[in-house]
Structure 1
Amino acid sequence: MKNALLIAAACALALLSSIGASLPYPILPPLFASGVENGLNQFLGLPPKLLFSVAVMINPVGLLLGSAVLGPLSDRFGRRSVLLATGLGAAIGHAVSALALLAESYPLFIVARFITGLLEGNGSVARAMLAERIDGPVRLRALSWLNGSAYLGWLAGPLLAGVTAGFGVTVPFWIAAAALLGVALVVACTLPRDPAPQGGAGSWWQVARERHALNLVKHADLRKLFILHLALTCGVTAFYEYFPLWLVDIAHYDAQQIAIANMGLCGMMALASGMAGRVADGPAMQRAGFHALGIAGAVALLGPGHLWIGLAGIVLFGIPNAFYNAVVQHWAADRFGSHGQGAVMGLLATTFCLANILMALAGSVLTLIDTRLVLVLGAVLSAWSGWNWLAWGRQALPPASGAEPGLAE
């Protein structure tokens, strides 16, 4: 029962964090691109589309920084303390976002969205909590369910905004704030109090500066994990960021049709996440490699520019992506947990955020030539990652037993 409550709290936190990150996508475009002047789209006389781009980008920037520091902070100060503080802070961030929209204050909205993203980078803390408190196959299922909850959030966020924005543009933000307060209450009731830090914790700023997740890359195996995971997530983020534009280029899809395609993708990822927690045959590195190659194959289906083949790739992408994340997170928790589960999960999350930024920059150039180029680049990077995962796995297999060392599958 205790494990069930822990898993439920972590999944609810992941769901609401991704809902909060995706809420503004259907709300902001009309505020900035409708041609109706307001305090948001007239800030300092800057072009409305530039203001819109900053408003969309600022939350992921916060997520990048939060993913890098919140996990290590939880290693030092405790999971419960960090989850409570970030959950309550994110709820306040959504409330301030709503107030900024009412006041039509662009600077306040930007600050609120950045801080909310920073605090919603606590997904690494939730994963570390599950990795630390749950062992064996149950851990694999728990991490898979948490990933599925996050995928559902990316589907539910825009839907929530679309359904409730008719009652007022701020209503979705108030709902998200209230829900996060509820999750904070569940965390407070479910998690035991954190033990006092040993040997003096130091200030939170000192810990964040000296023990952020990227410090782990100084270790050879963790550096290899970072490189392979970065290549794979560059392929994943190239797909996430540019398949909507591909649909517009190839079939002139409108926002509603793109939303339907996205529903198919998110639904498939959520379903596959439930399955990923039950399948664990074979060494983890080799399974990660095969799933990475599956991701590369799905993304490559968009390369020829055929609509129905591409739609198949969009939906099927959700299967290997869900399995890859479940396998790698479980394996990394087993193999590198001695470095601190918060730091390890933070490294994986930070890598994904970094890949988002890198592929956005690459896509800004390649899409000027052809949108398919950035998708092909993503497929190539994912395939390279897959082959190197397989090679790494072969190196780790003892000749006699054929079992991967140091893993409890």
Structure 2
Amino acid sequence: MQHSLLIGSTCLLALLSTTGASLAYPLLPPLFTGGAVNGLNGFLELPPTLLFGIAVMVNPLGLLLGSAVLGPISDSLGRRRMLLLTAIGAALGHLLTAYSLLIESYPLLVGARFVTGLLEGNGAILRAVLAERLDGALRKHALSWVNGAFNLGWLIGPLLAALSARHSLALPFYIAAGGLLLGTMLAVPALARESGRAQTHHWWTLATRHHVFTLLRHDALRTLFAIHFFYACGVAVFYEYFPLWLVEVGKRDAAGIALVNMGMCLLMTCAALFAGRASPRDARHRASIQAGAAALAILSPGLGNLWIGVAAIIVFGLPHAYYNATLQGWAAEQFAGHGHGAVMGLLSTTFCLANIVMALVGALLALVDLRLVFLVGAALAACAALAMRRWSRMAMVVGRELDCPGAVNRS
């Protein structure tokens, strides 16, 4: 019963987190384009497109920083404390966002979106809670389920915004704030029995000296980071540019793009329900196969055929869900000695960093030919698949992992 409450609470918070993060994407564009000058699109008389770009960018930037520091901080200050503080803080961030829209304050909007993103970087803490308090097959299933909850939030958020914004632009953010506060209250009983941690450092010291990138001093984690970064770059450029491909090749409008995205998110969420099943085969070997399948899906839009591309975009959710579940479950077992918060934070931060890098790289490639975006993305994911397969073979030959304190050998 306690485990069910814990899993349900973390999945609910994950769902609410990404629901709140995705609310702004359909709401902000109309405020900065094609309308009368207001306090948002007329701030300092800067170009509205520049103002819009900054407003959209600050949330994932905050998410990147939060993913890098919140997990390691929770290793020292405690999961329960950090999870409750960040969830309540993110709810307050949504309220500030709503207020900034009502008074048309651009600086407050940017600040609120940044702080909300920073605190919504607590996904590493949610995964660390499950990795720390569960084990075996249940841990792998739970990590997969929380991934499904994160994915589902990206579907629910835009739908919530579309349904509620017709009454008021602030209403979606009020709903998101209320949902997070309610979810936090429901999570308290599940987290109440967590054993306390001794606070040996100030939080600022922990954030600046014990962030996730300190893990890269270890050879095995450096290898994990490099391989996962290549895969995440392929996935990021796919996510960011398949809507543009649907417009250019398929002449799809916003509704058409949303429909394809809905199919991908639904398949990814459903796949996550089953992706955590145990297997006797080495996890890196399985991850290499899953990354290879994802690479084929990423490649397909680059071939030019509309219906093959649309089908590949939707089907992509299947191998990607399995890859995430496989890698996270293996990393939680293999690198437990480094702290679950730090390890889960490293995986989350890697993906955030890849999104920022590939937004720029993809823009440059798209200037030449949009198909290049998908060809390069597929090549990066395929390189990750090959590198993961090679790592698996090397581990089988050596028979043990190096530089992994607290590791459990699964090779």
TM, length-normalised to structure 2: 0.96
| Structure 2 residue aligned with 1:326 | 325
Three-state SS of the structure 2 residue aligned to 1:301 is helix
Shift of the 345–191 alpha-carbon distance from structure 1 to 2, 3 Å rule, reads same
Structure 2 unaligned runs (5+)?
401-406
| Structure 1 residue aligned with 2:58 | 58
Distance in 2 separating the partners of 1:399 and 1:82: 39
1:79-104 deviations in whole A, cap 9, x for unaligned?
00000000100000000000000000
**Is 1:87 aligned with 2:74?**
no
Aligned counterparts, 1:7-406, within 5 A: 7-192=7-192, 194-198=194-198, 200-278=199-277, 280-398=279-397, 406=408
Q: Check whether the contact 1:80–1:187 (CA below 8 A) recurs between aligned residues.
A: no
Q: Check whether the contact 1:291–1:323 (CA below 8 A) recurs between aligned residues.
A: yes
Three-state SS of the structure 1 residue aligned to 2:26 is coil
1:201-260 deviations in whole A, cap 9, x for unaligned?
211000000000111011000000000000000011011000000111112211110000
| Structure 1 residue aligned with 2:403 | none
1:334-364 deviations in whole A, cap 9, x for unaligned?
0001000000000000000000011001012
Q: Check whether the contact 1:71–1:346 (CA below 8 A) recurs between aligned residues.
A: yes
Structure 2 counterpart of 1:207, one-letter code? L
Q: Check whether the contact 2:141–2:276 (CA below 8 A) recurs between aligned residues.
A: yes
The root-mean-square deviation of aligned C-alpha atoms, in Å, is 1.5
1:21 Cα offset (Å): 1.1
Structure 1 counterpart of 2:309, one-letter code? G
Q: Check whether the contact 1:83–1:187 (CA below 8 A) recurs between aligned residues.
A: no
Q: Percent identity?
A: 53
1:195 Cα offset (Å): 3.9
Distance in 2 separating the partners of 1:183 and 1:287: 34
Structure 2 counterpart of 1:197, one-letter code? R
Distance in 2 separating the partners of 1:334 and 1:239: 30
1:187 Cα offset (Å): 2.2
Distance in 1 separating the partners of 2:3 and 2:399: 37
1:35 Cα offset (Å): 2.3
Distance in 2 separating the partners of 1:122 and 1:206: 18
1:114-152 deviations in whole A, cap 9, x for unaligned?
000000000000000000000000001000100000000
Structure 2 counterpart of 1:232, one-letter code? Y
Q: Check whether the contact 2:140–2:278 (CA below 8 A) recurs between aligned residues.
A: no
Three-state SS of the structure 2 residue aligned to 1:202 is coil
1:196 Cα offset (Å): 4.1
Distance in 1 separating the partners of 2:268 and 2:65: 26
Shift of the 194–141 alpha-carbon distance from structure 1 to 2, 3 Å rule, reads closer
Three-state SS of the structure 1 residue aligned to 2:277 is coil
Three-state SS of the structure 2 residue aligned to 1:373 is helix
1:408 Cα offset (Å): 5.8
Distance in 2 separating the partners of 1:85 and 1:335: 29
Q: Check whether the contact 1:247–1:253 (CA below 8 A) recurs between aligned residues.
A: yes
Count of equivalent residues: 405
Shift >6 Å, 4+ stretches: none
1:106 Cα offset (Å): 0.3
Distance in 2 separating the partners of 1:343 and 1:215: 9
Structure 1 counterpart of 2:97, one-letter code? S
Shift of the 399–346 alpha-carbon distance from structure 1 to 2, 3 Å rule, reads closer
Three-state SS of the structure 2 residue aligned to 1:120 is helix
Q: Check whether the contact 1:141–1:274 (CA below 8 A) recurs between aligned residues.
A: yes
Structure 2 counterpart of 1:364, one-letter code? A
Distance in 2 separating the partners of 1:375 and 1:214: 29
Structure 2 counterpart of 1:29, one-letter code? P
1:37 Cα offset (Å): 1.6
Q: Check whether the contact 2:137–2:278 (CA below 8 A) recurs between aligned residues.
A: no
Three-state SS of the structure 2 residue aligned to 1:302 is helix
